[in-house]
């Protein structure tokens, strides 16, 4: 029988939430980082249903705070490149992810954020109607506005019949370059609607691909190669090219061939620091003298208030995101801009340059390489000098602490650097041979490093994840939630708190704007936090190993003990009392 009535009786029939979980699985989403509420009753029920039937669906990681959930998805995407699901409770849970959405958006990390919406029926008309107080107060006019500045796409699921189509659309957009967060909202009445299996279509990855970055227009490539051919003082500045290992290699190859000094400014994903052309993190002195500059995958190459380019200089901007559409102002030069995969574009440039290279160019490049070698030695000498002073009891020198850590970390360990005013010590003192082994948030929302480290650990259990934060950043990260997830899901990370007794960045900012102001005269910067906190107890409450140190002499042994614990399977929290602000 082929009538629709016959089909309805003969084909199985499931709730939308059942297909929703199936759709996530078909997208290849491995995990749902969840913080549940009343909006999720249909999903929770179908999770049990699918498990009972032996049907596949993403694994659930329950996070006591949404900040952990969203940043875990970020950490997972940082390692795998694949966005995961984050499921939170209506407007309030969404609001709790806003800080993370800011960070993920600015870091170009994909994530599929999902939340319920208050039920739209109140008189028991449909399964899932309003049945509790909060359903009447959790419906703002514009729920998505809570995170809209950080989204590439948003929608409210209008009917279960399109649930898989909507998920595929969300997935394609978050995975397309430049990647970032998308947001899907759903009501209970939609999630409980029943549909037969032949009414729900599949949307395969083969047919619905995401957009990736490609190479550049050969004319623009040739124009830049011509400029490099006659450059006297070329520089290359990057911030996040290290997210792709091949981009790190392409930068190194081009720089070595053409004698280009490489800087990482406001780095978020490091390139290899072993490159013979890598000279450090501060391009300020080099920029005014550069005649040809290359900005490669970078958000903030320098601060224009401190640094001006030479008026005759030529700048090429090569980026997966040349337009920076999320920024009302973006003020860096580009006589020529090429949007795409920076690794591929740099390979094109190198190929063109090799074909054009003259003996004069080769001699000039070789001379530049000698100068770069000297700059490199200077940088390493300066770092060693800074680390030589160990500090004193109660005031461990952060450079010394990080240098000792650098001695014992292997090349594959990943550092989540939320050191704020001590972030420079992390960058300078810990050698990083491999790309993407130091991560900083592309955004400015503190409290990301713990969740990111956990998510990364989930994606790469064999690698060591090191979270480094200031004392202020540690509070922002909802550490009780971080250590709870670490314990429950057996995700050991090494957390280091560099405690300088408060918000040094706030103090320094006040001094920068008002070097001789009232705040300085009164020595009151509104930055001091509680002085006698035993941060280790936060970790210990969740079975982590905790150690507090204030004497520099204790540093090497304390680091060794913490690493032993992490390798043994539980998180370690090292609270270091460093030079006070
Ligand atoms: C969510 C959030 N709130 C506030 C700030 C503003 N802020 C920037 S740095 C900073 C101080 C951070 O203190 P800490 O982590 O101890 O680092 P320190 O400045 O002492 O090096 C604050 C409060 C922020 N960036 N993010
Ligand atoms: Mg501090």
Q: Read out DSSP for 372-395? A: HHHHHHHHHHHHHHHHH--EETTE
- Identify the pLDDT of residue 159: 97
Which string of DSSP letters, residue by residue, matches 263-298?
A: EE-S-SB---TTSTTEEES--TTTGGG-SEEEEES-
Mutational test site, ligand 1, from 495, 504, 525, 530, max ligand atoms within 8 Å of CB: 504
Mutational test site, ligand 1, from 505, 527, 533, max ligand atoms within 8 Å of CB: 505
Q: Is the CB of 99 under 6 A from ligand 1?
A: yes
- Identify the pLDDT of residue 9: 63
Give the C-alpha separation, 577 to 549, whole Å: 6
Buried b (16+ CB within 10 A) or exposed e, 8-21: eeeeeebbbbbbbb
Give the C-alpha separation, 554 to 557, whole Å: 6
Dihedral class, residue 524 (left if φ above 0, else alpha if ψ from -120 to 50, else beta): beta
Beta carbons within 10 angstroms of residue 197's beta carbon: 12
Q: Is the CB of 506 under 6 A from ligand 1?
A: yes
Those residues whose C-beta lies under 8 Å from the C-beta of residue 281, and which sit 6 or more positions away, are: 263, 264, 265, 267, 424, 427, 428
**Contact in structure between 273 and 329 (CB atoms under 8 Å):** no
Ligand 1: nearest atom to the Cα of 507: 19
**Contact in structure between 190 and 159 (CB atoms under 8 Å):** yes
Give the C-alpha separation, 155 to 162, whole Å: 12
Q: Is the CB of 476 under 6 A from ligand 1?
A: yes
Buried b (16+ CB within 10 A) or exposed e, 146-157: bbeebbbbbeeb
Q: Is the CB of 473 under 6 A from ligand 1?
A: yes
Q: Is the CB of 529 under 6 A from ligand 1?
A: no
Q: What pTM, to 2 d.p., does this model score?
A: 0.97
Those residues whose C-beta lies under 8 Å from the C-beta of residue 380, and which sit 6 or more positions away, are: none
- Identify the pLDDT of residue 8: 59
Residue whose structure tokens are 């913080």: 35
180 upstream amide cis, omega within 30 of 0:
no
Centroid of ligand 1 to alpha carbon of 542 (angstroms):
25
Give the C-alpha separation, 503 to 41, whole Å: 42
Helix, strand, or coil (residue 212): coil
Ligand 1: nearest atom to the Cα of 418: 15
Q: Is the CB of 420 under 6 A from ligand 1?
A: yes
**Contact in structure between 116 and 186 (CB atoms under 8 Å):** yes
Ligand 1: nearest atom to the Cα of 447: 1
- Identify the pLDDT of residue 1: 44
Give the C-alpha separation, 526 to 511, whole Å: 12
Per-position pLDDT tens, the chain of length 581: 456 555 556 788 999 999 999 999 999 999 999 999 999 999 999 999 999 999 999 999 999 999 999 999 999 999 999 999 999 999 999 999 999 999 999 999 999 999 999 999 999 999 999 999 999 999 999 999 999 999 999 999 999 999 999 999 999 999 999 999 999 999 999 999 999 999 999 999 889 999 999 999 999 999 999 999 999 999 999 999 999 999 999 999 999 999 999 999 999 999 999 999 999 999 999 999 999 999 999 999 999 999 999 999 999 999 999 999 999 999 999 999 999 999 999 999 999 999 999 999 999 999 999 999 999 999 999 999 999 999 999 999 999 999 999 999 999 999 999 999 999 999 999 999 999 999 999 999 999 999 999 999 999 999 999 999 999 999 999 999 999 999 999 999 999 999 999 999 999 999 999 999 999 999 999 999 998 899 999 999 999 999 999 999 999 999 999 999 999 999 999 999 999 99
Centroid of ligand 1 to alpha carbon of 419 (angstroms):
9
Q: Compute the radius of gyration of the chain from its Cα atoms.
A: 26
- Residue with the smallest CA separation from ligand 1 atom 11 is 503
Mutational test site, ligand 1, from 101, 470, 496, 500, max ligand atoms within 8 Å of CB: 470
């Amino acid at each position: 029988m082929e009538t629709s009535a016959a089909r309805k009786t003969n084909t199985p029939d499931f709730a939308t939430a059942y297909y929703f979980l199936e759709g996530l699985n078909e997208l290849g989403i491995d995990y749902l980082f969840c913080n549940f509420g009343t909006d999720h009753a249909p999903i929770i029920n179908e999770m049990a249903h699918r498990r009972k039937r032996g049907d596949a669906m993403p694994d659930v990681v329950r996070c006591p705070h949404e900040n952990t959930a969203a940043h875990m998805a970020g950490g997972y995407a940082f390692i795998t490149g694949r966005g995961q699901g984050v499921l939170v409770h209506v407007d309030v849970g969404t609001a709790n992810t806003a800080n993370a959405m800011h960070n993920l958006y600015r870091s170009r990390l994909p994530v599929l954020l999902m939340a319920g919406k208050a039920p739209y029926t109140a008189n028991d008309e449909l399964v899932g109607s309003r049945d509790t107080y909060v359903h009447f107060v959790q419906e703002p006019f514009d729920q998505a506005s809570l995170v809209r500045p950080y989204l590439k796409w948003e929608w409210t699921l209008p009917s279960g019949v399109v649930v898989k189509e909507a998920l595929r659309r969300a997935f394609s957009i978050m995975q397309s370059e430049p990647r970032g967060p998308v947001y899907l909202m759903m009501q209970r009445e939609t999630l409980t609607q029943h549909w037969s299996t032949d009414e729900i279509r599949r949307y395969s990855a083969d047919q619905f691909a995401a957009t990736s970055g490609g190479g550049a227009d050969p004319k623009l490539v040739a124009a830049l190669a011509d400029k490099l051919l006659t450059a006297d003082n070329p520089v290359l500045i990057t911030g996040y090219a290290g997210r792709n290992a091949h981009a790190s290699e392409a930068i190194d190859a081009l720089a070595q061939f053409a004698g280009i000094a490489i800087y990482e400014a406001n780095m978020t994903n490091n390139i290899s620091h072993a490159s013979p052309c890598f000279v450090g993190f501060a391009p300020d002195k080099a920029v005014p003298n550069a005649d040809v500059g290359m900005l490669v995958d970078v958000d903030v190459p320098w601060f224009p208030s401190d640094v001006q380019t030479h008026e005759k200089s030529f700048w090429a901007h090569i980026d997966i995101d040349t337009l920076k559409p999320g920024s009302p102002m973006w003020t860096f030069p580009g006589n020529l801009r090429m949007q795409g995969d920076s690794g591929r574009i740099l390979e094109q440039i190198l190929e063109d340059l090799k074909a054009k290279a003259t003996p004069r160019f080769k001699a000039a490049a070789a001379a530049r390489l000698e100068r770069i070698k000297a700059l490199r030695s200077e940088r390493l000498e300066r770092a060693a000098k800074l680390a030589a002073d160990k500090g004193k009891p109660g005031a461990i020198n952060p450079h010394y602490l990080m240098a000792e850590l650098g001695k014992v970390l292997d090349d594959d360990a990943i550092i989540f650097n939320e050191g704020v005013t001590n972030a420079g010590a992390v960058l300078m003192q810990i050698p990083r041979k491999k790309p993407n082994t130091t991560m900083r948030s592309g955004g400015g929302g503190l409290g990301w490093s713990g969740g990111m480290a956990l998510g990364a650990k989930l994606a790469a259990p064999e690698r060591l994840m090191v979270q480094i934060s200031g004392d202020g950043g540690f509070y922002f990260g909802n550490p009780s939630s971080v250590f709870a997830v670490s314990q429950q899901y057996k995700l050991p990370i090494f957390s280091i708190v560099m405690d300088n007794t408060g918000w040094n960045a706030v103090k320094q900012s006040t001094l920068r704007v008002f070097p001789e102001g009232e705040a300085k005269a009164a020595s009151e910067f509104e930055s001091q936090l509680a002085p006698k906190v035993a941060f280790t107890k936060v970790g210990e409450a969740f079975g982590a190993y905790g150690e507090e140190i204030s004497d520099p002499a204790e540093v090497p042994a304390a680091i060794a003990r913490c690493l032993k614990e992490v390798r043994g399977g539980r998180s370690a929290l090292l609270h270091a009392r460093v030079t006070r602000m």
